[in-house]
Amino acid sequence: MGEKLELGFTGRVRLEHFFSFYPNLTVAGQYRFEAITTVRTRLFSCLSLKGSLVDRFLSRPPVATIQKNEVAFTKGMGVNF
C-alpha cells in the first residue's frame, strides 16, 4: 500500500512525498515502511536544488545487530539539458 503526493507552491518550489507500507504476508505483525519527502527549488531554467528526508523502518530485522529505523537527509543539485 502507498501514497504519492506532489504539490507546487510556486513555479519554482515543489514538494513531493512518497509513502509505502509492506506487510509481511507470511508472518503476522511484521512489516516495513518507507517515507520520502523532497523539496525541490528551481534556481534557473536549467539548475535546481533538492533536499530529501528519507525514513525506512523494518519491524523485525533479520539480524539483531541491524537497526530497525534508518533516517537520512540527502541534498543534491540537478541540471536539465
Q: For the chain, what are the domain ranges?
A: 2-79
Q: Note the pLDDT of residue 3.
A: 95
Residue-wise burial string across 1-40, b where 16 or more C-beta atoms lie within 10 A, e elsewhere: eeeeeeeeeeeeebebebeeeeeeeeeeeeebbbbbebbb
Looking at per-residue pLDDT, the higher value among 61 and 22 belongs to 22
Residue 65 — very low, low, confident or very high, per pLDDT cuts 50/70/90?
Answer: confident
Residue 37 CA to residue 3 CA, distance in Å, equals 12
Q: Please give the pLDDT value at position 51.
A: 97
Give the model's confidence band at 60: pLDDT under 50 very low, under 70 low, under 90 confident, else very high.
Answer: confident
pTM equals: 0.82
15 band by pLDDT with thresholds 50, 70 and 90 = very high
